A and B are shown apart, each in its own frame.
Chain A
Amino acid sequence: MLCENCHQKEATVHLTQVVDGKTAKYHLCEDCAAQKGIDVHADPVDLSGMMENLKEQLGHLKENLEAPRAPAGSPACPSCGMTRAEILKRGRLGCDRCYEVFAAGMVPVVVSLQHADQHLGKVPHRSSDRLRNSVELARLRRELDKAVAGENYELAAKLRDQIKALPPEGGPP
């Protein structure tokens, strides 16, 4: 894969950014990444630093949630009554719906804690096929990115076939 910025060198830096709950992916060469101020040699996961950052992140969450333009909708979760202030105070959510209601504030927090934004593990067997396929698709795409980055084109071709074999996204449930 070529760098999306200079279109000349091989893209070796693959970055996923989450802004306002929207995920954007970048594939850059090292030089372009450095120009954009991305430290490619940084430790991928620095947990102690991460925990230090958590407080700061919770601060951002507070800003996100309190800002008048916050797209979080109603101030309390309609399902459990949890408010933004309570989530901040406890560091805990009230119910599964809270993850949707406060998504704009929560997704960046999850990403900063977990260094990931996509579940790639077990899916409940009773889930719909569509849901199962969407996790499987995310997993295969991740593998494909890795295979391409590692120039393992044989594996990449195999993964591409597997992806094609899955029903299209948004298809019938």
Chain B
Amino acid sequence: MSVRDPAEVAYQEALGITLSSRIRLARNLRGIPFPDKASPEVRAEVRRRVMEAARAELPVQETLSDCAPLHRQQLFEDHLISRHLLEGRPESAICMDPAHTRAIMINEEDHLRIQVLRPGLALREAWAAANALDDLLEQKLDYAFSPSLGYLTSCPTNVGTGMRASVLMHLPGLVLQNEMEPIASGLGKIGLTVRGRWGEGTAALGHMFQVSNQLTLGMPEDRIVADLEEIVKEIAGHERNARERLKRERRLFVEDLVARAAGILTSARLMTAQEALERLSELRLGIALGLVNKIAMPQVDRLLLDVQPAHLQTAIGRSLGGEERDLERAGRLRGELGRRSAKRSQQKDAE
């Protein structure tokens, strides 16, 4: 694909707004009670069978009840396991590929939750990968399926395709321009839903939102994916417009917001995870608007993950109390953003 390809250009332009794409498929084994209703022995047997079926493709396999809470928390922050599994559902497990882009949660609400994650707006690719993985598993596993209701799931909101497609979007422009509420309610009317990635509703922390399909029955998977992708592009367009208006009509406000964020991130001594996510989001907006040029967006994206409690503690190799974490987090941010930007400006000076 050449750089001048319009699809590629659109993707590049949307990159700062759409962070990642995810496909999740819910599957259950035929004739076996769903995890909530199954005995521990049956759940253990399901786990054994799924792990066995997935071993060649997803060799990194962990029984979640056996692993340390900090490790579970890290998998949760990486979006690889759900809150259910974080809280330690009995006989639950995760199977992953070494790159952590494909995974299966075992004994979540359904026997299998197949997940594929891709950076940027790449729902079609994610669906193709999830579909291929599902095909392989299906050679060894007999799925519960009905000709009218499709794949049968524990909750009727997932029957049919069992598919939830979602895109993680950074929408500070729409939030700051008070345009998020009407968009969210509009999405509801066309069978889509928008949730905060961290926190709830439109007061989402760090202006990060998850846009996904609500309906799983009555449409083929590629339609669901294509429709969602169209809408995501449209939302990204609205976000771009909102950012343009911010810059044009509220220039001083937005410059101040970004400068304060950079100031706090590079000088605070204590920083909660919540504040870090909020300030990093504002910094990210500044980079997108061209107000900050010493820091690159991928670096901010990595920090959004690294400042979270389990990542922070894993990085330094021990568990920390609340204030110790805030101290460590602030130090990490000062080191990363201060030093890196200093190094970059030195490079610039040398040029």
Partners in one complex: yes
- With A46-B189, A122-B131, A122-B221 given, is the CB distance from A114 to B216 under 8 Å? yes
A12 adjacent to chain B (CB < 8 Å): no
Q: CB within 8 A of B148: which of A43, A97, A115, A119?
A: A119
Chain A proximity of B27: nearest CB distance (Å):
9
A121 CA to B148 CA, complexed, in Å:
10
Which residues of the other chain, B, contact A131 by a CB distance below 8 angstroms? 145, 147
Which residues of the other chain, B, contact A94 by a CB distance below 8 angstroms? 33-34, 36-37
Chain B proximity of A79: nearest CB distance (Å):
7
In the complex, are the beta carbons of A118 and B33 less than 8 A apart? no
B121 adjacent to chain A (CB < 8 Å): no
In the complex, are the beta carbons of A92 and B147 less than 8 A apart? no
Q: CB within 8 A of A110: which of B30, B135, B159, B192?
A: B159
A45 CA to B163 CA, complexed, in Å:
18
B63 adjacent to chain A (CB < 8 Å): no
Contact with A along B157-191 (1 / 0, CB 8 A): 10111010000000000000000000001001111
Which residues of the other chain, B, contact A47 by a CB distance below 8 angstroms? 188-189, 191-193, 214
In the complex, are the beta carbons of A109 and B150 less than 8 A apart? no
The residue in chain A whose Cβ has the minimal distance to the Cβ of B224 is A121
Q: Is the interface of A mostly helix, strand, loop or mixed?
A: loop
In the complex, are the beta carbons of A110 and B144 less than 8 A apart? no
The residue in chain A whose Cβ has the minimal distance to the Cβ of B221 is A121
Q: Is the interface of B mostly helix, strand, loop or mixed?
A: loop
In the complex, are the beta carbons of A117 and B135 less than 8 A apart? no
Interface range on chain A (Cβ under 8 Å from partner):
35 or more
A135 CA to B161 CA, complexed, in Å:
12
B138 adjacent to chain A (CB < 8 Å): yes
The residue in chain B whose Cβ has the minimal distance to the Cβ of A134 is B147
CB-contacts of B10-42 with A (<8 A)? 28, 30-34, 36-38
B152 adjacent to chain A (CB < 8 Å): yes
In the complex, are the beta carbons of A139 and B220 less than 8 A apart? yes
In the complex, are the beta carbons of B191 and A126 less than 8 A apart? no
A34 CA to B173 CA, complexed, in Å:
43
In the complex, are the beta carbons of A96 and B144 less than 8 A apart? yes
A131 CA to B148 CA, complexed, in Å:
10
In the complex, are the beta carbons of B33 and A95 less than 8 A apart? yes
B215 adjacent to chain A (CB < 8 Å): yes
A166 adjacent to chain B (CB < 8 Å): no
Chain A proximity of B25: nearest CB distance (Å):
9
CB-contacts of A132-169 with B (<8 A)? 134-135, 138-139
Which residues of the other chain, A, contact B33 by a CB distance below 8 angstroms? 79-80, 94-95
Chain B proximity of A154: nearest CB distance (Å):
22
A69 adjacent to chain B (CB < 8 Å): no
In the complex, are the beta carbons of B156 and A110 less than 8 A apart? yes
A121 CA to B161 CA, complexed, in Å:
6
A144 CA to B221 CA, complexed, in Å:
19
Contact with A along B214-255 (1 / 0, CB 8 A): 111111110000000000000000000000000000000000
Looking at B151, B156, B160, B216, the one whose CB has the most chain A CB atoms below 10 A away is: B156
Chain A proximity of B28: nearest CB distance (Å):
6
A96 CA to B148 CA, complexed, in Å:
13
A82 CA to B143 CA, complexed, in Å:
20
Q: CB within 8 A of A48: which of B155, B156, B185?
A: B185
Chain B proximity of A48: nearest CB distance (Å):
5
Contact with B along A89-133 (1 / 0, CB 8 A): 011111111010000001001100111111111111111000100
Chain A proximity of B131: nearest CB distance (Å):
7
Chain B proximity of A13: nearest CB distance (Å):
18
- With A47-B214, A99-B149 given, is the CB distance from A120 to B219 under 8 Å? yes
Which residues of the other chain, B, contact A106 by a CB distance below 8 angstroms? 156
Q: CB within 8 A of A119: which of B36, B160, B188?
A: B160
Nearest first, the 6 closest Cβ-Cβ pairs linking A and B are A116-B218, A119-B150, A96-B144, A94-B37, A114-B217, A80-B33
A-B contact pairs, 15 of them (CB 8 A): A47-B192, A47-B214, A48-B189, A114-B159, A114-B160, A115-B218, A119-B146, A120-B220, A121-B163, A121-B220, A121-B221, A122-B161, A126-B142, A131-B145, A138-B147
Additional A-B contacts beyond A117-B148, A122-B221 (20; CB < 8 A): A45-B191, A47-B193, A79-B33, A80-B38, A91-B155, A94-B33, A94-B37, A95-B32, A99-B149, A110-B149, A110-B156, A116-B217, A117-B217, A117-B218, A120-B218, A120-B220, A121-B163, A122-B161, A126-B142, A127-B145
Residue ranges of A at the interface with B (Cβ–Cβ < 8 Å): 43, 45-48, 79-82, 90-97, 99, 106, 109-110, 113-127, 131, 134-135, 138-139
